Amino acid sequence: MVNVNAILSRQPEPGLAITSAARAALLNLTHSMAEELAVEGTRVNSVLLGLVDTGQWRRRFEGSGTDQDYDARSAEIAADRGIGLRRFGTADEVAFPITTLLSPLSGYTTGASIDVGGGVGRHV
């Protein structure tokens, strides 16, 4: 099992207290389930997302009235949010760690959390 969550689960942001708390709860649930289900051979892991290029971001851009193109605007947002790679992630970049964790090649991985956030994670 792979729970798709957000980096907010470890790194709350101002104004997002409720969302951050819910994300932290899901991360805790992942770890609890990993421990409880390991004896049955069920693996439970998390993929923690940063900003991913989705239809939601494109709709916001189209409604913003900016003169910038989408790539320039998304790079600006990424830089403002502290994303080291200075861009949004893609669906393929999210799919890869999920499919990897679901693969038999990850058969010894449970209770893990993988950040897919372009370097935004500032926790240790």
pLDDT of 55: 87
Q: If we measure between CA atoms, which residue out of 19, 31, 24, 22 comes closest to residue 9?
A: 24
Distance CA 41, CA 39 (A): 5
Q: If we measure between CA atoms, which residue out of 120, 109, 100 comes closest to residue 11?
A: 120
pLDDT of 124: 63
pTM for this prediction? 0.89
Taking the CA atoms of the chain, what radius of gyration do you get in angstroms? 16
pLDDT digits (tens, 9 = 90+) for 51-82: 999 889 889 998 888 888 999 999 999 999 99
CA quadruple 79, 85, 87, 93: dihedral sign: negative
Q: Which residues contact 99 (CB under 8 A, 6 or more apart)?
A: none
Which amino acid, one-letter code, is at 79? A
pLDDT digits (tens, 9 = 90+) for 8-29: 899 888 899 999 999 999 999 9
Positions of E strands within the chain:
2-6, 45-49, 113-116
| Domain definitions of the chain by residue range | 2-116
Half-sphere exposure of 99 (CA within 13 A, CB side): 6
CATH of domain 2-116: 3.40.50.720
Distance CA 48, CA 7 (A): 5
